A and B are shown apart, each in its own frame.
Chain A
Amino acid sequence: MDLTLAIIVTVVGASTPILIAALGELVVERSGVLNLGVEGMMLIGAIAGFVVQFHTGNPYLALLCGAAAGMASSLIFGFLTLSLSANQTATGLALTIFGTGFSALAGSSYSARPVSLMEPLFPAELAAHPVWKVLFSYSFPVYFSFIMVVVIWYFLHKTRAGLILRAVGENDQSAHSIGYSVIGVRYMAVMFGGAMAGLAGACFPLLLTPQWAERMTAGRGWIAVALVVFASWKPFRLLAGAYLFGLVMTMELYAKAGGGVLSIIPSELWAALPYIATIVVLVLISLRRDASTNAPACLGKPFLPSN
């Protein structure tokens, strides 16, 4: 019982950053932009969040600065791909490389310096009982991620702004001819995606490992990108997918710690599992013809107004 609860708590921790980053990328892709720089933006958010937490000890300010740093880095991507119509795939990859290098440079003097983890949102008494612990023992980003699933779903399907965003991702030329600003909508989406990725990155030093380590996001940004496809661009499927991946990653930790049955499979294989699963899922999706039809029709194509 206790072990199960402990596993659940760990899974939630592992899944939250992936979910937040993937939600941001979902909105970006729904507007027709493919930003492969999620990993880089997460690292920039992680170092920004760490530095602020280290100097101020205010985790909320740290999250906010992580988000702001992520948004700022997404503006580089936005300017290149939206204003200058650069290739989105190449620019996104470059952003990831840039984020990796930049965060390593900025964090070089902070290695092996601990910070304090973010406190749970609710008072400890509420989470005293193990069952209540499952619900109330987390810090702010966990609840934020759940709220954002609902908010993004509502935004996309129930609001006019969400309809315009989907329209831009579906047929940019038509949206333009009706009179919507395709580039403007996409800038907003890219900035939102950057802020979510930065916030997700800041979760690493604040929620998971209370220190700075180079490449501490360890490819979670890529999993977030794959998850968006896995979830066929739907927020609630994204929630399920993020937790599935979080579960697999947690299994790795328990396998490493010599956790009984799990250690039959070497921990290296557990560690590889999320990435293998990502590949398998992407292959399965490309085989299923109807799933791809949910993809925004303009995904990854630069917008050049025809008249």
Chain B
Amino acid sequence: MDASMPHRLELIGITKQFPGVLANDNISFSVRPGEIHALLGENGAGKSTLVKMIYGIMQPDAGEIRWNGERVTIANPKAARALGIGMVFQHFSLFEALTVLENIALGMDAKIPARELEGRIREVMTRYGLLLDPHRTVATLSVGERQRIEIVRALLLDPKLLIMDEPTSVLTPQEVEQLFDVLRKLAAQGCSILYISHKLHEIKALCDTATILRGGKLVDTCDPRQETSRSMAEKMIGGGLKDLVKARDRVFGEPRLHVNGLSMPAPDHFGTALKNVCFTVRAGEIFGIAGVAGNGQNELLLAMDGELPTDPSAIKLGDLPAGAMSPSARRRHGLSSVPEERNGHGAVGVFSLSDNSVLTARERPGMVNMGFINFGAAKTYTRKVIADFSVKALGAGSTAGSLSGGNLQKYIMGREILQRPSVLVVSQPTWGVDAGAAAAIHQAILDLAEAGSAIVVISQDLDELLSLSDTLAVINGGQLSPKMQVGDASIEEIGLLMGGVHGNTEAPDAIPA
């Protein structure tokens, strides 16, 4: 990395205005050849807007982009790719029913005969240890394998700058290590990498430089290896980070939720069968379930909240067999649940918050009288949720769909928690939620446990589970590992359990030693 070489990419005073928001305000930074540069910030800090301009999806209102020292205008993604800019998106633009090869062919600008393309794909795959069968249908691949397709697609164009948008949010720790190996290899060959993330320890482990954005402004450009995770987090959220208040050595009460030998066939073609799942959660205990998406988490949640009935004795609330109960019957007996999908499953987007409260909270806080809705009570309850959980909403009458993801999640969590459930089941409590809202949701879960509820948290975010839960198990291919104390669990072991069937089995030689 010679300092006299021109910068691979240089942004000077980039500004982008959206109606009502200044998404990027006079942003300037540069990336050297072979540098791994982190772009750090909360949701809404302007990271996506910035990279969209670098990749030609949007145009800046002011400022200039320099590529290898020369001023350029990147009119569209095709122009970006022609310059040598590749991008791996957070949400893969893949076609499930098509094969790996067909997917890659669709994303190529040049028409290359299928056989020649396959040869080049195999060459890139072996060079970077990204092993995949080009003739597999995408629907049969794990998320990590799908990401490899996107990376191979970008690498086929021999990029000089690779933009990675939150690439690790869905990977196991081992898959993350594999990915980092690939990225380091690329960087060593002179390819620059712009790495977008909000996971600080990853940035410390991987990146040479970090540019931190907050509210559309550049806050700092620093060397992440010189910073602590905490100092970077504070720059990111612009204030002191609140610590989670978690009492040490808590004593748990009597068992509240028993899941005993729960087996269930897959509900549909893409689902996962549950195999003899057993666990018990006691009053005051937070039980975390880790795992890569699609390993039976959804099915387990649906079985617990009553959307998929099971054998009556497979699920017990206290001593009460609840496996065959309907979701509302379970709610009456004190079980609340928050599904992963906020809009459409957790809440009805076109309904007001007040109406959404009636949907799940009608029984316990008494919003329904002889079949008639007591709208006053529903409004009062909703206002309490909005106030207690600092939901940013115009009022109980605003529609659920008008709230941002984080605010809707705070509302849904609040709606369930204020019912004082004896058992709460939550899936992905902070998925796509900014750090401030996430901290508030975590604290609310801890407080509920403190008050004596038994809580199950299903999450793909291992850091979240390690900081939140008391006990932990890993789900893989519909099987749940034995329960372990969080204090005793090693990340390595958890990672291996998570990877059990998916991902690594086909490319064992790609696992770093």
Contacts and interface: CB of A to CB of B under 8 A. Distances in A.
B333 to A, nearest CB: 32
Contacts of B97: 166, 170, 293-294, 296-297
Interface stretch (B88-96, B304-312, B345-353): B88-96
B94 A179 contact: no
A117 interface: no
Interface in A78-125: none
B269 A167 contact: no
Given A167-B106, A290-B269, A160 B111 contact: yes
Nearest to A173: B93
A179 B95 CA distance: 14
Nearest to B103: A167
Question: Do most interface residues of chain A lie in helix, strand or loop, or is the interface mixed?
Answer: helix
Contact of A289 (B95, B105, B111, B268): B268
Q: Which of the four size classes fits the interface of chain A?
A: 20 to 34
B122 interface: no
A163 B105 contact: yes
Contacts of B268: 289
Contact of A171 (B76, B77, B96, B270): B96
A177 interface: yes
A1 interface: no
A178 B93 contact: yes
Interface residues of B, number: 19
Contacts of A209: none
A163 B93 contact: no
B47 to A, nearest CB: 16
Interface in A266-307: 289-290, 292-294, 296-297, 307
A167 B105 CA distance: 11
A164 interface: yes
B7 interface: no
Given A170-B98, A179-B77, A164 B93 contact: no
B107 interface: yes
Nearest to A168: B95
Question: Do most interface residues of chain B lie in helix, strand or loop, or is the interface mixed?
Answer: loop
B383 interface: no
B95 A167 contact: yes
Contact of B107 (A160, A171, A178, A294): A178
A179 B96 contact: no
A177 B95 CA distance: 12
Contacts of A175: 95, 106
A177 B102 contact: no
Q: Which of B98, B102, B106, B270: most chain A Cβ within 10 A?
A: B106
Nearest to A164: B106
Interface string B42-56: 000000000000000
A174 interface: yes
A163 B269 contact: no
Contacts of A292: 269
Interface string A176-206: 0111100000000000000000000000000
A167 B77 contact: no
Contacts of B94: 171, 174
Q: Which of A163, A173, A174, A297: most chain B Cβ within 10 A?
A: A174
B78 interface: yes
Contacts of B111: 160
Contacts of A179: 76-78
Interface string B103-117: 001110001000000
Nearest to A158: B114
A86 B218 CA distance: 44
Q: Which of B76, B95, B102, B105: most chain A Cβ within 10 A?
A: B95
A151 to B, nearest CB: 19
A182 to B, nearest CB: 13
A170 B105 contact: no
Given A289-B269, A290-B269, A293-B269, A178 B96 contact: no
A180 B57 CA distance: 15
A171 B269 contact: no
Interface in A127-175: 160, 163-164, 166-167, 170-171, 173-175
Contact of B93 (A160, A177, A290, A293): A177
Interface in B15-63: 57
Interface of A: 160, 163-164, 166-167, 170-171, 173-175, 177-180, 289-290, 292-294, 296-297, 307
15 contacts: A163-B105, A164-B106, A166-B95, A166-B97, A167-B102, A170-B96, A171-B93, A174-B93, A175-B95, A177-B93, A179-B76, A289-B268, A290-B269, A293-B139, A296-B97
Interface of B: 57, 76-78, 93-98, 102, 105-107, 111, 139, 268-270
